[in-house]
Amino acid sequence: MTTNTIALITGGNKGIGLATARQLGARGMTVLVGARDAERGRAAERELRAGGADARFVPLDVTDAASVAATAKLVEEEYGRLDVLVNNAGIALGDGARALPSETTVATLRRVYETNVFGVVAVTNALLPLLRRAPAARIVNVSSEVGSIAIMTDPGSFLAPLASVPYPSSKAALNMVTAMYAKELRDTAIKVNAANPGYCATDLNGNSGFRTPEQGAEVSVRLATLPADGPTGQLWGHLADGDGGYGVLPW
């Protein structure tokens, strides 16, 4: 059975993406679980279905042009449109990505950007024709407070000690990407926002985060289900001070 609302979550097989798929599925959406590994994708599909969601694994490596094109073709042929796109897939590359700027290699930078920035643009552009066919599509780019130049340069921020280029600058680029898509689409019913899930315990950070993936996913879900008078072109989510609730974050 296919529901009336079709959502695609990239990197939907674990972490915040899987939790987002679970929550959107619980709201009655058909959730297409993008995963680059078939086994992990099928396992997520099984888990979501066991929980009652109308879930379907879709093979998708956001860094692979053929894979992105195949996803767009599948969504067009099977569903004819897309209501929600959550660009959630992301990597941090552990220690390499936490190196000081002076120690950063271009190879690391390229790898992180391939997924966190170029992958988002590739997937969004491939699916935009289908998003335009939906009555009021929502695009959610899963970003981070570490992509906020204002927060990262605030001496009072808990992120003040962090000086690293690959992951933070990839999310800063993603923030600008978000703002520019929102600008291009401002006269349409499509809303484009960036999500800050906050620091969540996932494989991305060795499960060191102090929020759960479910709490992080709440932000993507809120932005994926915005009403017609909701915002576009914002970085929204958990406030950077840890427990200050939700709100708009500075770019």
Ligand X SMILES: NC(=O)c1ccc[n+]([C@@H]2O[C@H](COP(=O)([O-])OP(=O)(O)OC[C@H]3O[C@@H](n4cnc5c(N)ncnc54)[C@H](OP(=O)(O)O)[C@@H]3O)[C@@H](O)[C@H]2O)c1
For residues 10 and 164, which CB has a smaller minimum distance to ligand X in the complex? 10
For residues 142 and 221, which CB has a smaller minimum distance to ligand X in the complex? 142
Catalytic residue among 14, 79, 113, 171: 171
CB 38 within 8 A of CB 61: no
For residues 141 and 225, which CB has a smaller minimum distance to ligand X in the complex? 141
User: Is position 62 an interface residue for ligand X (rule: CB under 6 A)?
Assistant: yes
- Interaction mask 213-242, ligand X, x per CB under 6 A: x-----------------------------
Contacts of residues 43-47 at CB distance under 8 Å and 24 or more positions apart, as own/partner, are 43/13, 44/12, 44/13, 44/14, 44/18, 47/18
Sites for ligand X among residues 75-134 (CB under 6 A): 88-91, 115, 119
Shortest reach from residue 25's CB to ligand X, in Å: 16
For residues 127 and 204, which CB has a smaller minimum distance to ligand X in the complex? 204
Sign (positive/negative) of CA torsion 87, 30, 229, 128?
positive
Task: Figure out which of the listed residues 60, 84, 177, 192 binds ligand X, where binding follows CB under 6 A.
Answer: 60
Shortest reach from residue 135's CB to ligand X, in Å: 27
Neighbours of 203 (CB within 10 A): 10
User: Is position 139 an interface residue for ligand X (rule: CB under 6 A)?
Assistant: no
User: Who's near 158: CB < 8 A, 6+ residues apart?
Assistant: 240, 241, 242
H or E, element range at 192:
strand 191-196
Task: Figure out which of the listed residues 9, 117, 128, 200 binds ligand X, where binding follows CB under 6 A.
Answer: 200
Applying CB under 6 A, the site for ligand X has a residue count of 31
User: Who's near 87: CB < 8 A, 6+ residues apart?
Assistant: 10, 62, 119, 120, 123, 124, 139, 140, 141, 142
Shortest reach from residue 44's CB to ligand X, in Å: 8
- CA–CA gap between residue 57 and residue 65 (Å, rounded): 18
Catalytic residue list contains 191: no
- CA–CA gap between residue 73 and residue 95 (Å, rounded): 37
- CA–CA gap between residue 188 and residue 203 (Å, rounded): 37
- Take residue 81 and report the two structure tokens written for it: 């449109």
Catalytic residue among 14, 79, 167, 181: 167
Catalytic residue list contains 14: no
User: Is position 16 an interface residue for ligand X (rule: CB under 6 A)?
Assistant: yes
**Can you give the binding site for ligand X, defined by CB under 6 A?**
10-11, 13-17, 36-37, 40, 60-63, 88-91, 115, 119, 142, 144, 197, 199-200, 202-205, 209, 213
Q: Which residues are catalytic?
A: 167, 171
